[in-house]
Amino acid sequence: MQDSILERQETRDEWGRANNMVTADETQDDLRDRPTAMRPGEELDIERLREYLAPVLGQASWQVSQFPGGYSNLTYLLEIGPEKFVLRRPPFGNKVKSAHDMGREFRMLSALEHIFPYAPRPIRFCTDQEVLGCDFYLMSCIEGIVIRKDYPSRMVLTPAQTRQQFFTLFDVLGELHSIDLRKAGLENFGKPEGYVRRQVEGWSKRYNDARTPDAPDFDAVMQWLHDRMPADNGLARIIHNDYKLDNVIWSANDPLQIVGVLDWEMATVGDPLMDLGCTLGYWVEATDPADYRSFRAMPSEAPGAPTRAEIVARFSERTGLAVERFDFYFCFGMFRLAAIGQQIYYRYHHGLTRDQRFAAMINKVHSLHRMCERVIARSAL
């Protein structure tokens, strides 16, 4: 098990002072994901789990807690003596196994273990339904800093550091896209042929299925995407499919260095430019309309942050991939987010949840619609 990256206090403090940045001890309460007690109805059978994992983890004292974030697969922290592990399982009551395929996720992590140092190390995959009533897997725990919508008030980055940090975010994505599929043993993983068409048609159907009377009309956007989708470009690369700031972990010793990439449940093989477009669908910059900036999910409009154009140029230079028809990929990334937001809002609109976070999602869907229209109006495609 790797040493905790929260150790080596003296080195960390020296780095923070030298770079005018708050140190890990000062920020960890704000930045580190803190697991809590298992939620009612989502408890694990600890004794059965301990019995199953004893040959792997031993019989040391156990403590199990649950990470609170996420809307899909459930994630738990297992503290076994001095060591920490992470368990992933599907939501309780899930009836569609293909939507939460633990085996697929475990296979991806196994393929990346020795060639992509940011992925968690897979440890054990369980298909025995007698243990937890579902497939699940165990992986290593990567500790560090998670950044979300805003930098905490005590974390002060210079514009140059902010720029470096965000470029690093996309450099690591480029590293993923540069992996040789054969070297990874993933040449037969996924269906890269027709990937773009399946994505456009699939998300169009999902949006229409979740549409409510107060939702915007995306018909013109969907038609534009359909009419301007690129032909298969022959590129088949590993794509994360949900790569964003709060799915990466930054080193507590050097908060400009990524040490982990999480949430691989949607990873597949397909067009890497679709992956780039989906990540930039989250990207908000200082010159964007105010209503669009109000829904940002990361501090990407901070002084020093690169623009989308600068990110695309750097990504192309470092990967050797020509990023053509960027308006299409960016517009698709935003439309996909709108469809996801509409699916979430659908649950609230129909009384399936009273969570007020879901109620506000319709406003984000409208904002994404306006931004898609803005991109289309200015596009030369």
What are 147-205's pLDDT values in tens digits? 989 987 777 899 999 999 999 999 999 999 999 999 999 999 989 999 999 999 999 99
Contacting residues for 290 by C-beta, under 8 A, at least 6 apart: none
Indicate if the pLDDT at residue 12 is higher than 70: no
pLDDT of residue 353: 78
Contacting residues for 112 by C-beta, under 8 A, at least 6 apart: 119, 179, 184, 238
Indicate if the pLDDT at residue 355 is higher than 90: no
Task: Report the phi/psi class of residue 185: left, alpha or beta, with left for phi > 0 and alpha for psi in -120 to 50.
Answer: left
The model carries a pTM of 0.88
pLDDT of residue 10: 33
Distance CA 44, CA 321 (A): 45
HEC assignment per residue over the chain: CCCCCCCCHHHHHHHHHHCCCCCHHHHHHHHCCCCECCCCCCCCCHHHHHHHHHHHHCCCCEEEEECCCCCCCEEEEEEECCEEEEEEECCCCCCCHHHHCHHHHHHHHHHHCCCCCCCCCEEEEECCHHHHCCCEEEEECCCCECCCCCCCCCCCCCHHHHHHHHHHHHHHHHHHHCCCHHHHCCCCCCCCCCHHHHHHHHHHHHHHHHCCCCCCCCHHHHHHHHHHCCCCCCCCEEECCCCCHHHEEECCCCCCCEEEECCCCCCEEECHHHHHHHHHCCCCCCCCCHHHHCCCCCCCCCCCCCCHHHHHHHHHHHHCCCCCCHHHHHHHHHHHHHHHHHHHHHHHHCCCCCCHHHHCHHHHHHHHHHHHHHHHHHCCC
pLDDT of residue 376: 98
pLDDT of residue 17: 36
222-271, pLDDT tens digit by residue? 999 999 999 888 889 999 999 999 999 999 889 899 999 999 999 999 99
* Partners of residue 120 on adjacent β-strands: none
pLDDT of residue 356: 82
pLDDT of residue 300: 96
Average pLDDT over residues 7-30: 39
pLDDT of residue 56: 86
pLDDT of residue 335: 98
Indicate if the pLDDT at residue 5 is higher than 50: no
* Partners of residue 136 on adjacent β-strands: 126
pLDDT of residue 67: 86
29-47, pLDDT tens digit by residue? 455 667 889 988 889 999 9
Provide the angle, in degrees to the nearest 10, between the axes of the packed helices 24-31 and 9-18. Answer: 90
Distance CA 342, CA 334 (A): 12
pLDDT of residue 140: 96
pLDDT of residue 14: 36
HEC assignment per residue over 106-169: HHHHHHHCCCCCCCCCEEEEECCHHHHCCCEEEEECCCCECCCCCCCCCCCCCHHHHHHHHHHH
106-137, pLDDT tens digit by residue? 999 999 999 999 999 999 999 999 999 999 99
Looking at 53-57, 171-175, 314-318, 330-334, which range is the least confident one? 53-57
Domains in the chain, CATH or no CATH each: 33-140 (3.30.200.20), 159-378 (3.90.1200.10)
Return the top range by mean pLDDT from 56-60, 94-98, 221-225, 346-350: 221-225
- Pairing state between β 83-89 and 62-66: unpaired
Radius of gyration for the alpha carbons in the chain, expressed in angstroms and rounded: 21
Indicate if the pLDDT at residue 26 is higher than 50: no
358-375, pLDDT tens digit by residue? 899 999 999 999 999 999
274-327, pLDDT tens digit by residue? 999 999 999 999 999 999 999 999 999 999 999 999 999 999 999 999 999 999
Share of residues in the chain with pLDDT > 90 (%):
73
Give the model's confidence band at 71: pLDDT under 50 very low, under 70 low, under 90 confident, else very high: low
Distance CA 121, CA 109 (A): 7
